[in-house]
Structure 1
Amino acid sequence: MSTEGTLWPEGYDRIIFDRVDSTNAQAARIAGDLKRPTWIMARQQTAARGRRGKTWANPDGNLAATLVMKPGGPVADAAYRSFFAANALYETLALYVDRTRLSLKWPNDVLLNGGKVAGILLESAGNSEAVSWLAVGIGVNLQHAPKNVQDASFPPVALFEESGQSVTPDEFLNALAANFATEEAIFSKMGFEVIRENWLRHAARLGEVITARTSQEEITGIFQTIDAFGNLILKTAKGPIAIAAADVYF
């Protein structure tokens, strides 16, 4: 299915580079001069990174993009954009592959046939009261799954290799930007609850036993829900536990 006719969302700019160190790093460099939310896409990244300083491989033909914006509002609202991005990625990937093969892994991955097809990295600047700018970094394995990835609990997969659907980064970004703008509109009119409900509808292993590994401990329990703040809620023998940040395994 082609999305070439998808209109670029009103109110958003885009900049496309042949080569940068990372789109999130480039976002940080230009954030102060922004007039409108801006998507940055790069054909190649020389120093891509994922969560917690992990490297992110970016073979040719895959999507490397960052939305940089000045969202305003409470600091907590900025973190919700991770769920905006996950929902937008799900809907965009569902244009090319049966949605039953897709799922969302808390806090920021998209799975295809149980393998990691996309990841999200949020970075920001500001203080406890206000966010100066927010960067929503997104990597999608459109054509190739990175090789020789060490210690991957969810081995990387690629859309083309799993489905035979060949999608260019430009085409994918067009649809992704439109879907993200829709998430922003939903949030502005109805708040996080609708975003949350949509995310949970596609959540991986909801109602099943999973393990969350934080910087201090490992917690195993039934994945009950995510709360109004986006925290993972695990039902354990000690009762429900809310987890703000962790790596999830199942």
Structure 2
Amino acid sequence: MAFRLAPTSVSEGFRLEAHDSVGSTNTLALDHARAGDPGRLWVVSKRQESGRGRRGRAWVSPEGNLAATLLVITGGELRLAATLGFVAGLSLADALDAVVPKSRIAVGLDGASQGQNRFELKWPNDVLASGAKLAGILLESAILEGGRFAVAVGIGVNVVAHPAELPYPATSLQALGATCDAETLFLALSDAWSENARLWDEGRGLAAVRRRWLARAAGLGGEVAVRIDGNVVRGVFETIDEDCRFVIRDGEGSVLAIAAGDVHFGAVASAQV
């Protein structure tokens, strides 16, 4: 099966560029933006040679996994465009729910709340299954002429393989017993993106996105440790605020809103991270 867009996505003017292998779908999308592409372009591949995650970390994507980037061109506020990562997380979780049989995935996150969601969202940019990282999301931007900028919404999913020897648990759909392939997952993702992007509504619907995200949040109400520039802050994960910052209450009762950091749950949160 070849990559293709959902009919809803096509009707809304989205386009598709599919590759057998790429260096980085984010890099390719931003190159298209600098060359004048108007956006609403999905760049997808089943193999990515030089993908990257947050903070410059490598993102391994061997043959059969999904690397997908949506190019968004906007003249709005970059602060609001940054919340597209939450739209991406919701869209991917919705797509996974649609294509993975319900009997395949068990839910369980060490030290965190046990919800009914098979696929949970870990702030700010991960999708978890059975408490392990299944997918990552990376937003990158570039300034364009005329006061506009491009946002590459990168989504990487471990479909057939996941990296080993990581400091956190990781998994793949295949390891979880699911038989969904990258093409089927992308078809559902392109459909789910259209729905959640309409809800987001150029940032005007961020409050609704935030509510939906919290309903899928991993670790809500549980002990967390957040590494921020080499320092570790510990507390209880209470919510994300109206700007989608991570809000915790520390041992002294103080409430902290964190804009960027690496989050650890459960036993990992209790240990030195």
- The TM-score, its normalising length taken from structure 2, stands at 0.83
Give the unaligned 5+ runs of structure 1.
none
Aligned ranges 1:5-24 → 2 under 5 Å: 6-9=6-9, 10-24=12-26
CA distance in 2, matches of 1:230, 1:97: 31
Q: CA shift at 1:216, angstroms?
A: 4.3
Residue-by-residue CA offset, 1:24-46 (whole Å, 9 max, x unaligned): 11112111321231000123211
Give the unaligned 5+ runs of structure 2.
103-115, 266-273
Aligned-partner SS, 2:20:
strand
CA distance in 2, matches of 1:149, 1:124: 30
Q: Are residue 102 (structure 1) and residue 119 (structure 2) matched? A: yes
* The one of 54, 59, 62 aligned to 1:56: 59
Q: CA shift at 1:126, angstroms?
A: 2.6
Aligned-partner SS, 1:184:
helix
CA distance in 1, matches of 2:153, 2:39: 14
Contact 1:89 1:176 in 2 (8 A): yes
Q: Are residue 144 (structure 1) and residue 161 (structure 2) matched? A: yes
Q: Which residue of 1 aligns with 2:194?
A: 181
Q: Which residue of 2 aligns with 1:69?
A: 72
Q: Which residue of 2 aligns with 1:80?
A: 83
Q: CA shift at 1:5, angstroms?
A: 9.7
User: CA distance change for structure 1 residues 239 and 135 in 2, over 3 Å: closer, same or farther?
Assistant: same
Q: CA shift at 1:102, angstroms?
A: 1.7
CA distance in 2, matches of 1:243, 1:52: 16
CA distance in 2, matches of 1:97, 1:20: 30
Q: Are residue 133 (structure 1) and residue 150 (structure 2) matched? A: yes
Contact 1:14 1:38 in 2 (8 A): yes
Aligned ranges 1:203-218 → 2 under 5 Å: 203-218=217-232
Q: Which amino acid aligns with 2:190?
A: A
* The one of 224, 242, 259 aligned to 1:244: 259
Aligned ranges 1:154-169 → 2 under 5 Å: 155-162=169-176, 164-169=177-182
Contact 2:5 2:16 in 1 (8 A): no
* The one of 32, 47, 52 aligned to 2:50: 47
User: CA distance change for structure 1 residues 37 and 149 in 2, over 3 Å: closer, same or farther?
Assistant: farther
CA distance in 1, matches of 2:152, 2:5: 27
Q: CA shift at 1:71, angstroms?
A: 2.8
Residue-by-residue CA offset, 1:5-37 (whole Å, 9 max, x unaligned): 942512211100122111111112111321231
- What's the % identity of the aligned pairs? 36
CA distance in 2, matches of 1:120, 1:8: 23
Moved over 4 A (4+): none
CA distance in 2, matches of 1:65, 1:241: 33
Q: Which amino acid aligns with 1:204?
A: A
Q: Which has the higher strand share?
A: 1
Q: CA shift at 1:184, angstroms?
A: 1.1
Aligned-partner SS, 2:46:
strand
Contact 1:83 1:108 in 2 (8 A): yes
Aligned-partner SS, 1:203:
coil
Aligned-partner SS, 1:86:
helix
User: CA distance change for structure 1 residues 232 and 97 in 2, over 3 Å: closer, same or farther?
Assistant: farther
User: CA distance change for structure 1 residues 166 and 174 in 2, over 3 Å: closer, same or farther?
Assistant: same
Across the two proteins, how many residue pairs are aligned to each other? 242
Contact 1:34 1:69 in 2 (8 A): no
User: CA distance change for structure 1 residues 138 and 234 in 2, over 3 Å: closer, same or farther?
Assistant: same
Residue-by-residue CA offset, 1:58-97 (whole Å, 9 max, x unaligned): 1211101111111331111111100000000111111214
CA distance in 1, matches of 2:235, 2:258: 12
* The one of 111, 132, 144 aligned to 2:128: 111
Q: Are residue 34 (structure 1) and residue 37 (structure 2) matched? A: yes
- Alignment root-mean-square deviation, CA: 2.0
Residue-by-residue CA offset, 1:93-118 (whole Å, 9 max, x unaligned): 11214363221100000000011111
